[in-house]
Amino acid sequence: MFGKRSTHAVGMVLMAGSLVLGLTACGGSDSDAIKVGLITKTDSNPFFVKLREAAKAQADKDGAELIALAGAFDGDNEGQVAAIENMVGQGVKGILITPNSSTGVLDAIKKARDAGVVVIALDTATDPEDAVDATFATDNLAAGVSQGKWVKAALGDAPPQIVMLDGTPGGTVDTFRHDGFLEGFGITEGSPEIVGQENTNGDQTKAQTAMENILQRAPGINALYTINEPAAAGAYQAIQSAGRTDQITIGSIDGSCTGVADVKSGKIGATVMQFPAKMAEQGVQAVVKFATDGTKPSGFNDTGSELITDKPVAGLESKDTAWAEQNCWG
């Protein structure tokens, strides 16, 4: 774990690199171009890479200039606060942000909005939601419900013993997906069917370690909720090592091409596909419109999701992996 001082230093070093990439990727700075800021949780996760690529493409199409910064790691709140301040200083008209903490960046966001900058949350809502002008994201509660319903149906009559591999505490994405799964499965927080629960930060290695430990404590597990596909992949490695691949049903959320391949191969039973490119494109368009005619975006804007599985269940709409391979990202 990094201390406060070293966390800030690492974040700023990474952000400096991201800033250079963001400026040069758009073909150099044009003083007359509308400046659009993009701040992601990290710059390495394929989901955020797709966000950045789509935002750049849309900015180029609209004649805008994209400035892309990122936290040093998932949970780097200090780095994102510094990025907001950096962008306001550079005169951006709008900031698109996937907040690491749904509450930790609120003061910086307020200062940006007070300075006349429109702020839009992508993927992860702030808490409260109206701390930003608008949100363009997956309805993560609905995505969690889809995962929960599928896992329950796939289990059939088997008494459930569920493990929940969550993401990062305090994030709205994590909370909505977790609560949605419970709702979809038909259980509540603390239900006896839940035999294990760990935070993984959505990291594959952490998820594998967590699953290894849980399997030792609760050998009868037959159902697994995962916050995202890297967590599902890590858990699968632990399950495979334990010789339990035919005994545990895994659900997930993301829709990356890697995740879709894992569904196709049978590692993950089902995943819920998101559309990060839509989030970025619509966000950039909203900033450009604001800069052009003063129209501010508002409210929650659902960019959609689709349940992906080659094992469909009655009463639950889904797409197969052939469709998903044509629509995945990363």
The CATH number covering residue 248 comes to 3.40.50.2300
> What does pTM read for this prediction?
0.85
Q: Which pLDDT belongs to residue 101?
A: 86
In a domain, 330, yes or no: no
DSSP element (H, E) containing 118: strand 118-122
Q: Which pLDDT belongs to residue 30?
A: 56
DSSP element (H, E) containing 15: helix 4-25
Q: Which pLDDT belongs to residue 75?
A: 82
Please check whether residues 156 and 251 belong to one and the same domain.
yes
In a domain, 128, yes or no: yes
In a domain, 151, yes or no: yes
The one-letter code for the residue type at 87 is M
The Cα–Cα gap between 173 and 128 comes to 13
Q: Which pLDDT belongs to residue 330?
A: 85
**153 touches 314 (CB < 8 A):** yes
In a domain, 197, yes or no: yes
Nearest to 39 by CA among 103, 91, 104, 96: 96
Please check whether residues 312 and 175 belong to one and the same domain.
yes
Strand partners, 251: 225, 270
SS3 state of residue 104: coil
Please check whether residues 158 and 264 belong to one and the same domain.
yes
| Domain span including residue 214 | 140-273+307-325
In a domain, 16, yes or no: no
Q: Which pLDDT belongs to residue 284?
A: 98
The one-letter code for the residue type at 329 is W
Please check whether residues 102 and 217 belong to one and the same domain.
no
Please check whether residues 123 and 177 belong to one and the same domain.
no
**276 touches 50 (CB < 8 A):** yes
In a domain, 12, yes or no: no
The Cα–Cα gap between 243 and 223 comes to 15
Please check whether residues 45 and 156 belong to one and the same domain.
no
**125 touches 191 (CB < 8 A):** no
Please check whether residues 312 and 181 belong to one and the same domain.
yes
| 63 class by beta-carbon count within 10 Å (0-12 exposed, 13-18 middle, 19+ buried) | exposed
- Residue 30: phi and psi, rounded to 5, are -115, 115
Please check whether residues 260 and 193 belong to one and the same domain.
yes
Provide the CB-side half-sphere exposure for 31 (13 A, CA). Answer: 0
SS3 state of residue 235: helix
In a domain, 160, yes or no: yes
Q: Which pLDDT belongs to residue 74?
A: 80
Please check whether residues 108 and 241 belong to one and the same domain.
no
Please check whether residues 110 and 216 belong to one and the same domain.
no
Q: What are the Cα distances from residue 3, in Å, to 166, 200, 217?
A: 24, 20, 32
Please check whether residues 151 and 178 belong to one and the same domain.
yes
Q: Which pLDDT belongs to residue 31?
A: 64
The Cα–Cα gap between 48 and 53 comes to 9
Structure tokens at 19: 């800033």
Nearest to 227 by CA among 186, 268, 276: 268
The Cα–Cα gap between 255 and 273 comes to 4
In a domain, 102, yes or no: yes
Task: Per-residue pLDDT tens, the chain, 330 aa: give them.
Answer: 333 333 333 343 334 334 333 433 344 455 689 999 999 999 988 899 999 999 999 999 999 999 999 999 888 999 999 999 999 999 999 999 999 888 999 999 999 999 999 999 999 999 999 999 999 999 999 999 999 999 999 999 999 999 999 998 878 899 999 999 999 999 999 999 999 999 999 999 999 999 999 999 999 999 999 999 999 999 999 999 999 999 999 999 999 999 999 999 999 999 999 999 999 999 999 999 999 999 999 999 999 999 999 999 999 999 999 999 999 998
**95 touches 37 (CB < 8 A):** yes
Taking residue 89's Cβ as centre, other Cβ atoms within 10 Å add up to 9
Please check whether residues 110 and 217 belong to one and the same domain.
no
Q: Which pLDDT belongs to residue 1?
A: 33
Question: How many domains is the chain built from?
Answer: 2
Q: Going by DSSP bridges, is the β-strand pair 162-166/249-254 parallel, antiparallel, or unpaired?
A: unpaired
Nearest to 16 by CA among 67, 64, 78, 66: 67
